[in-house]
Amino acid sequence: MWNQPHLLHALRGCETFYNGHRPHRALRQAAPLRPLPEPSTTPVEITSLDIRRHDRLGGILREYAHAA
């Protein structure tokens, strides 16, 4: 960390990741600020998943999402 604004930026990034993306076991793998998606059960949906990774904070945090 170089200075206070840099520290605050990193903390905001961690908070956003923790509450908006990171799955929580107690919430059945949902994040606190988003609903749990419906599970995919058909083989076609499962085999055609296109997952994209987004690095946050220089790769310290990683988000995974379905590509649209």
- What confidence score (pLDDT) does residue 42 get? 77
State the pLDDT at residue 3.
Answer: 93
pLDDT band at 4, cuts 50/70/90? Answer: very high
Tokens of 57: 């904070």
Is 27 in a helix, a strand, or coil? helix
Please tell me the distance from the alpha carbon of residue 10 to that of residue 50, in angstroms, as a whole number.
29
pTM of the model: 0.47
Report how far residue 3's alpha carbon sits from residue 38's, in angstroms, rounded to the nearest whole number.
43
Per-residue confidence at 36, pLDDT binned at 50, 70, 90? Answer: low
What one-letter code names the amino acid at 65?
A: A
Long-range contacts of 50-57 (CB under 8 A, 24+ apart): 56/13, 56/17, 57/10, 57/13, 57/14
Report the pLDDT averaged over residues 10-38. 74
